[in-house]
């Protein structure tokens, strides 16, 4: 059976987009930063300059996409079903059960390695710098959308707004923790840095759990 022309075009478009993102990730890793041009990116991805801008409005958009893919392990891990006996099954309110799911995923995921990579490749020395913070905010926003979608599938009776509020509070807290982690560790990828990250993450989860519990 012949594949419809629209499906072939969509598949080709997606392959081009993925090629651009992979090429950007390679260049960021090789150069240790983002000091490369659209032309260099297009050449590495084997696409035209025009194709790059057909998919992304700017290089910053490409960088944000790379960040989101690096952090995408969170979504993949949450998408794996958790034993219903351990979680008590699907719930309808974004209370402790859903927060515990998010906490379990983040605690069991090595975020230090990707955060150290992103901090190094995005460049800069100011953990609160607007350019760096903006890219991470955009990346975490995309991750948050994915996490919200997964939680919605796992808890179909939950209110969509409440889910979004829970996830946005969580991802926003992760962004704040990242800034403090960077200031305290210099974005190192080692055991001491992981200990600092675990400390900050525990504090975030405690604050969120206490806050949500106080409204019940």
User: What does the alpha-carbon distance between residue 157 and residue 141 come to, in Å, rounded to a whole number?
Assistant: 23
Q: Are the beta carbons of 175 and 111 closer than 8 angstroms?
A: no
In a domain, 52, yes or no: yes
**pLDDT, tens only, 104-146:** 888 888 889 888 888 877 765 555 566 667 777 777 887 888 8
Name the pLDDT band for 215 (thresholds 50, 70, 90): very low
Please state, in angstroms and rounded to a whole number, the distance separating the CA atoms of residues 146 and 49: 29
Q: Are 73 and 52 in the same domain?
A: no
For residues 46 and 146, membership in a common domain is answered with no
- Tell whether 84 is covered by a domain: yes
What is the residue range of 14's domain? 5-56
- In a domain, residue 114? The reply is yes
Residue 189: pLDDT band (50, 70, 90) is very high
Classify residue 47: in a domain, yes or no. yes
What's the CATH number where 34 sits? 1.10.10.60
Alpha carbon of 151 to those of 82, 90, 92, 137, 147: distances in Å?
12, 10, 11, 20, 6
As for how many domains the chain has, the answer is 2
**How confident is the model over 75-98, as pLDDT tens digits?**
777 677 544 434 445 555 555 678
Residue 61 is assigned to a structural domain of this protein: no
């Amino acid at each position: 059976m012949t594949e419809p022309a629209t499906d072939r075009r969509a598949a080709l478009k997606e392959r081009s987009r993925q090629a651009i993102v992979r090429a950007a990730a390679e260049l960021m890793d090789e150069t240790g930063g983002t000091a490369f041009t659209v032309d260099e990116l297009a050449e590495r991805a084997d696409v035209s300059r025009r194709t790059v801008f057909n998919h992304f409005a700017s290089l910053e958009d490409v960088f944000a996409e790379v960040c989101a893919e690096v952090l995408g392990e969170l979504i993949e891990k949450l998408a794996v079903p958790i034993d219903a006996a351990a979680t008590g099954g699907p719930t309808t309110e974004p209370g402790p059960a859903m927060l515990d799911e998010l906490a379990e995923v983040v605690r069991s995921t090595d975020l230090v390695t990707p955060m150290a990579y992103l901090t190094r490749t995005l460049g800069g020395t100011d953990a609160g710098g607007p350019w760096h913070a903006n890219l991470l905010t955009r990346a975490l926003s995309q991750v948050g959308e994915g996490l919200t979608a997964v939680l919605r599938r796992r808890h179909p009776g939950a209110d969509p707004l409440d889910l979004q509020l829970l996830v946005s509070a969580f991802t926003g807290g992760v962004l704040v923790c990242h800034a403090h982690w960077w200031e305290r560790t210099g974005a190192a990828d080692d055991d001491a840095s992981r200990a600092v990250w675990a400390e900050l993450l525990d504090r975030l989860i405690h604050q969120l759990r206490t806050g949500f519990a106080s409204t019940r």
